[in-house]
Amino acid sequence: MSWYEKLNEYFPIEEMKSKEHFEILLDEKGNVYHKDESEDHVLMYAEYEQFVFVDYVYVSSKARGKGIGKQLFEQLKSKGKPIILEVEPIDYEDTDTAKRLRFYERENFQHAKTIGYEKKSIATNEVNPLEILFWSPIDEDEEQIYEKMKKTYVDIHTYKDKEIYGESYQPVDQVFKRRKRETDIFEDANKLQST
């Protein structure tokens, strides 16, 4: 199975980029956008001077629990830059969401509670809410993470979108909003796992 097939099988359609989009990013933005793969994992990420954005991380089911995810994130942390990623909100029907969040909590990621993120999927035309997690060796605040996510959205997610998909994603200011969220997503995950 190719790296793209692994990602396509694992991630929901509303979160996936097309193969063409990935290939254009790897070709035209190869100084920033990278693929790291083995038989058991696929990691797609953008590395900027000031931060790293993890676009997709996949570890095969047969390799889970063997420390591959931890090793991948240790490699990224060794760059000494903040790491930002998107996760699905808690799904009370799918306990895997809680397991993923517990992994990120163990890796000392924080939940950016003040960043609302809702992107409309071109594939399904549905609004896809996501949460932002970040790890920072330099005490970044959520305002700085907010600006970095907006840059990533424009530079990676919407790069050549009209050319690739025949239509454009929403403008960045419609996708990201400041919000006040009372609970931390990790608290929600812990509650789900304890029930």
Write the pLDDT tens digit of every residue in 33-67: 999 999 999 999 999 999 999 999 999 989 888 99
The torsion of the CA quartet 14, 58, 192, 125, rounded to 10 degrees, works out to 0
Q: Is there a contact between 71 and 115 (Cβ–Cβ < 8 Å)?
A: no
Extract the tokens encoding 49: 């001077």
Percent helix, strand and coil across the chain, each to the nearest 5 = 40, 25, 35
Check residue 93 and give its pLDDT.
66
Q: How far apart are CA 69 and CA 54, in angstroms?
A: 12
Check residue 186 and give its pLDDT.
86
Q: How far apart are CA 132 and CA 114, in angstroms?
A: 9
Check residue 92 and give its pLDDT.
62
3-class SS of residue 62: helix
pTM: 0.94
Residue that has been written with the tokens 């397991």 in this structure: 99
Give the pLDDT band (50/70/90) at residue 182: confident
| Secondary structure letter of residue 157 according to DSSP | I
Phi, psi values for residue 12, rounded to 5°? -65, 150
Section 110-139 average pLDDT: 94
Q: How far apart are CA 41 and CA 6, in angstroms?
A: 9
Q: Which residue has the higher pLDDT, 181 or 12?
A: 12
Q: Where are the beta strands (DSSP E) in the chain?
A: 33-37, 41-47, 52-59, 83-87, 110-111, 115-120, 127-135, 176-178
Check residue 115 and give its pLDDT.
95
Percent of the chain with pLDDT over 90: 78
Q: How far apart are CA 163 and CA 106, in angstroms?
A: 40
Q: Which helix (H) or strand (E) holds 193?
A: helix 185-194
| Strand partners of residue 115 | 178
Section 92-98 average pLDDT: 69
